[in-house]
Amino acid sequence: DGGITQSPKYLFRKEGQNVTLSCEQNLNHDAMYWYRQDPGQGLRLIYYSQIVNDFQKGDIAEGYSVSREKKESFPLTVTSAQKNPTAFYLCASSAVEVGGNEQFFGPGTRLTVL
Amino acid sequence: AQRVTQPEKLLSVFKGAPVELKCNYSYSGSPELFWYVQYSRQRLQLLLRHISRESIKGFTADLNKGETSFHLKKPFAQEEDSAMYYCALKPGGYQKVTFGTGTKLQVIP
């Protein structure tokens, strides 16, 4: 697997600390996404970006922040305001084209708040 | 607002039996529908999309706009089909993608 990477694979954080999850892609995709995956709840969209220097809130953006300064990178910061941050986080990217845009997913980061 | 519903959390079938994973959606415009699959210890990946109208690994899915459904079907289940399956919707012309809660398919030998 290549193309889209996430780091670290596992992350531990103390309550009250902010933490940043990395997502990088070399697929030349314009669109990038952050999802949270919880058992029984599927994938819920946190933030997405359609182009550099622009991003939109997803369905569960509260307590999270993102930036999109480079096409290749879309880091996610989990802030202390996120009430239940322990989860599996997935990053994805896709081309922006008419009809049928496949999303490519990273391997994920498992965040545990201690 | 767009919404995707997968009513079954777990679907268990015997090897060789037919499989149908249900997906219903709500969206007022013309959506693009996808099925993604996550095998054990692998990344989430695209299985098929409605505009391709193709069969992948024996699976097919037909978009029924009248019933707002996009059910995934396979006539004969195989053990290697055991995985988590997600239905997803993308509004035409927009990039926000909504996923269902997923269905775990368990194929019993």
Please give the Cα distance from B87 to B70 (Å, whole number).
8
**Contact state of B96 with A99 under an 8 Å Cβ cutoff:** no
Cross-chain residue pair B49–A50, CB shorter than 8 Å: no
Q: How far apart are CA B83 and CA B37, in angstroms?
A: 7
Inter-chain residue contact A45 with B98, CB threshold 8 Å: yes
Q: In this structure, is the dihedral angle defined by the CA atoms of residues A80, A82, A88 and A89, taken in order, positive or negative?
A: negative
B47-66 CB burial, b ≥16 within 10 A, e <16: bbbbeeeeeeeebebebeee
Task: State how far the alpha carbon of A100 is from the alpha carbons of A46, A48, A67, in Å.
Answer: 21, 17, 26
Q: How many CB atoms lie within 10 A of CB B86?
A: 24
Does residue B37 or residue A42 have the better pLDDT?
Answer: B37
A89-111 pLDDT, tens digit per residue, is 999 999 887 655 789 999 999 99
Chain A contact set for B43 (CB, 8 A): 1, 105-108
The enclosing H or E element of A104 equals strand A104-105
Q: Residue A50 is nearest to which of B49, B95, B101, comparing CB atoms?
A: B95
Please tell me which of the candidates B9, B32, B93 has its beta carbon nearest to residue A100. Answer: B32
Write out pLDDT tens, residues A56-81.
999 999 999 999 999 999 999 999 88
In this complex, how many residue pairs, one in chain A and one in chain B, have their CB atoms less than 8 Å apart?
Answer: 60
Higher pLDDT, A42 or A25: A25
What's the per-residue H, E or C state across B3-16?
A: EEECCCCEEEEECC
Phi, psi of A18 (to 5 degrees): -85, 150
Output the DSSP codes for B30-94: -EEEEEEEE-TTS--EEEEETTT---BTTBEE--BTTTTB--EEESS--GGG-EEEEEEEEETT-
* pLDDT at residue A101, rounded to an integer: 79
Chain A residues close to B100, C-beta within 8 Å = 42
Across the interface, whether the CB atoms of B32 and A41 are under 8 A apart is answered no
Per-residue pLDDT of chain B (109 residues; tens, 9 = 90+): 789 999 999 999 999 999 999 999 999 888 889 999 999 999 999 999 988 878 889 999 988 989 999 999 999 999 999 999 999 999 877 778 899 999 999 999 9
Measured between CB atoms, does B51 come within 8 Å of chain A?
yes
